[in-house]
Amino acid sequence: MIPTSFPAKDEIARLTAGMLIEIGAIDFNASDPFTHASGKQAPTYVDCRKLISFPRIRSTLMDFMAVSIMREAGFEAFDNVAGGETAGIPFGALVAERLALPMTYVRKKPKGYGRNARIEGVMTEGQRVILVEDLTTDGGSKLSFVDAIRETGASCSATAVIFYYGIFDGVEETLADHGVQLISLCTWWDVLAEAKARGAYDAATLDAVEAYLNDPAGWTPA
């Protein structure tokens, strides 16, 4: 059944944040911070890939994503759902099932043999495609996937993610300049609020996380 009736956006954000905390997909550590792919340190880490191992939460969040897409982009806005390699592939398949749409996936780079394709599955010229991923930080990887989709002659005007960092300047503007709408379920701010409400971490850790979220570029371990 295609989901159409669900909580308001702010309640979806709160519930999503709570589920991520519940399954250990969120980790805060100010004393021994994490090193991200950029090489910068942060007291925060999120791993949305864990969601595939929790059926009840996985199903609920995919319902949330499907209804968010319909609410924010339109009920008949897309003809194809594309997952981004690799984390976006299972979520793309689950969302496609809910929206009763074909599913494809986009490789990070051509596979180097055979058709040397970046798009797997059937994507045709003129199709309206939504890109589904687990999360976005600064939006950079999304643009590469979107460009690969557009090279087929299809259009891609939106990307939907479970988690959006929501702490870096200009991300939504950069995507919008590329003709891409960002749809997300929750941000670090939602997670911080829910962690405080649950007492999930000690006050010093939460203070350090809040300081990082307010100034990610300037934050250093105390």
Q: What is the mean pLDDT of each run of 10 residues along the chain (222 residues)?
A: 82 98 96 84 95 97 96 97 96 97 94 73 97 91 94 97 96 95 98 97 95 92 69
pLDDT score, position 115: 62
> Cβ(8)–Cβ(16) under 8 Å?
no
Distance from C-alpha of 138 to C-alpha of 136, rounded to nearest angstrom: 6
Residues 85-119 as b/e (b if ≥16 CB within 10 A, e otherwise) read bebbbbbbbbbbebbebbbbbbbeeeeeeeeeebb
Please state whether beta strands 26-28 and 181-187 pair in parallel, antiparallel, or not at all (unpaired): unpaired
Q: Which residues contact 1 (CB under 8 A, 6 or more apart)?
A: none
Beta-bridged to residue 181, according to DSSP, are 158
In this structure, which topology does domain 9-214 adopt according to CATH?
Answer: Rossmann fold (3.40.50)
Position 134 scores a pLDDT of: 97
Domain extents for the chain?
A: 9-214
Predicted local confidence at residue 4, as pLDDT: 72
pLDDT, position 139? 79
pLDDT reported for residue 203: 95
Structure tokens at 123: 């994507």
What pLDDT, on a 0 to 100 scale, did the predictor assign at position 127? 98
CA distance 5 to 13: 15
Identify the pLDDT of residue 113: 64
